[in-house]
Amino acid sequence: MASVTTTSGAIARLRDDLATWPNLISLIRLALIPVFVWLLLGRDDRTAAALLLAALGATDWVDGWIARRFDQVSEIGKILDPTADRLLFLVAIVSMIIDGSVPTWFAVATLAREVAVSIAALVLGALGARRIDVTWWGKTSTFGLMFAFPLFLASHANLSWSSTANVLAWTIGLPSLVLHYYAAAGYVPLAAEALASGRARPSGNEPS
Let me know: does 197 contact 130? Beta carbons within 8 Å: yes
> What integer pLDDT is reported at residue 192 of this predicted model?
80
pLDDT in tens, 34-55: 999 999 999 999 999 999 999 9
C-alpha dist (Å) from residue 126 to 40, 81, 120, 133, 207: 36, 21, 10, 17, 16
Residue 205's pLDDT band, with cuts at 50, 70 and 90, is: very low
Position 207 pLDDT exceeds 80: no
The reported pLDDT for the residue numbered 108 is 96
Residue positions counted in the chain: 208
Judge whether 89 and 142 are in contact, CB under 8 Å: yes
What ranges do the domains of the chain cover?
Answer: 2-202
pLDDT the model gives residue 10? 46
Contact by Cβ (8 Å): 49, 36: yes
The model's pLDDT over 76-118, given as tens digits with 9 standing for 90+, comes to: 766 777 788 888 889 999 999 999 999 999 999 999 998 888 8
Q: Is there a contact between 183 and 138 (Cβ–Cβ < 8 Å)?
A: yes
Q: Report how far residue 161's alpha carbon sits from residue 145's, in angstroms, rounded to the nearest whole number.
A: 20
Query: Contact 152/57 with Cβ under 8 angstroms?
Result: no
CATH class as words, domain 2-202: mainly alpha
pLDDT at 18: 59
Q: Poorest-confidence range of 58-67, 149-158, 178-187?
A: 58-67
Under the banding of pLDDT at 50, 70 and 90, the label for residue 11 is very low
Question: In this model, does residue 151 exceed pLDDT 90?
Answer: yes
Inter-CA distances, 155 with 18, 36, 47, Å? 38, 17, 9
Using pLDDT thresholds of 50, 70 and 90, give the confidence band for residue 208.
Answer: very low
First to last CA, the chain: 19
Query: Does the pLDDT value for residue 129 go beyond 60?
Result: yes
pLDDT recorded at residue 48 = 96
> pTM of the predicted model, to two decimals?
0.78
pLDDT (tens digit, 9 = 90+) per residue, 159-201? Answer: 999 999 999 999 999 999 999 999 989 888 887 887 777 666 5
Cβ contact 49:39 at 8 Å: yes
